[in-house]
Amino acid sequence: MIIVDGNKSSKAIGTFDNLEQMLSSLVQEENMEGRVITDVIVNNEAFSEIYPHQAEDISCDFISSVEVRSVPSSELAVDIAGELDKVTRMMGHGAREVSRLFREASDTEALELLQDLLDVTRDFMNMLGDLRQRYAKEESSEFSEKTDKLSSLLSEMGDALEDEDWILLADMLEYEFLPICADWGQVSERLRDKIIKRVAQ
The 10s digit of each residue's pLDDT in 51-72 is 778 899 999 999 999 999 887 7
Instruction: Tell me what the mean pLDDT of segment 167-194 comes to.
Output: 87
Q: Residue 109 above 90 pLDDT? A: yes
| Cβ neighbours of residue 99 closer than 8 Å, sequence gap 6 or more | 169, 170, 171, 173, 174
Confidence of residue 165 (pLDDT cuts 50, 70, 90): very high
In DSSP terms, 42 is beta-bridged to 45, 66
Instruction: Tell me what the mean pLDDT of segment 89-102 comes to.
Output: 93
Domain ranges of the chain: 2-64, 75-200
In DSSP terms, 35 is beta-bridged to 72
For helices 178-200 and 73-103, what crossing angle results, to 10°? Answer: 170
The 10s digit of each residue's pLDDT in 10-43 is 899 999 999 999 998 888 875 777 777 888 999 9
Residues in the chain: 201
